Amino acid sequence: MFIKQEYTFWKIAHDLVVVQGFEILHLNSQTHDLWLEKDYKWKTHVVRLKVAQFNWARELMDDILLTYQRVKQNIRLFTGSRLMFHNLYLSEYPPVDDWEKAVTDVLKSDSKVNMKLYYLDEEHKSEESSRFYHSISLNSPQLGQNLQPAEMESIISYLRQQIVSSDQQRKRAALDLFKYGKPIMTYVLLILNILVFFFVEWKGKSTSLISLIQYGAKYNPALMDGEWWRIVTSMFLHIGFLHLFMNMLALFYLGTAVERIYGSLRFTGIYFLAGIFGGLSSFMMNPQIAAGASGAIFGLFGALLFFGLLHKRLFFRTMGTNVLFIIGLNLAFGFIVPQVDNSAHLGGLTGGFIASMLIHLPKQKNLKVQLLSLAIYILAAIGMVWGGTAQYSQSEQAGVQVQYTQELIKDKQYDQVIQTATHALEFPGIYKAELLFNRSYAYTQKGQLDKAKQDLEKAVQVKPDMAEAHFNLALIYQKRGRLNQAKEEAEKAASLKPEQENFQKLLRSLN
Ramachandran assignment for 32, one of left (phi > 0), alpha (psi -120 to 50 degrees), beta (any other): left
Largest Cα span, the chain:
123
Write out the DSSP string of 320-385: HHHHHHHHHHHHHHHHHSTTS-HHHHHHHHHHHHHHHHHH-STT---HHHHHHHHHHHHHHHHHHH
> Whole-angstrom Cα distance, residue 89 to residue 117?
8
Q: Which H or E element spans position 275?
A: helix 264-285
Distance between CA 121 and CA 192 in Å, rounded? 68
Tell me if residue 89 falls in helix, strand or coil: strand
**Residues involved in catalysis:** 294, 345
Give residues with Cβ within 8 angstroms of 461, minimum separation 6.
none
Q: How far apart are the first and last CA of the chain?
A: 118
Secondary structure letter of residue 208 according to DSSP = -
Other Cβ atoms less than 10 A from the Cβ of 436: the count is 26
Q: Considering only CA atoms, give the Rg of the chain.
A: 36
Q: Which helix (H) or strand (E) covers residue 51, if one does?
A: strand 43-51
Partners of 84 in beta bridges: 45, 114
Q: Quick check: 280 and 384 in contact, CB under 8 A?
A: yes
CA distance 209 to 218: 11
- Render the burial of 332-370: b for 16+ CB within 10 Å, e for the rest: eebeeeeebbbbbbbbbbbbbbbbbbbbbbeeeeeeeee
Residues 6 or more apart from 129 whose CB is under 8 A from it?
Answer: 12, 118, 120, 140, 143
Distance separating alpha carbons of residues 42 and 33, to the nearest angstrom: 26
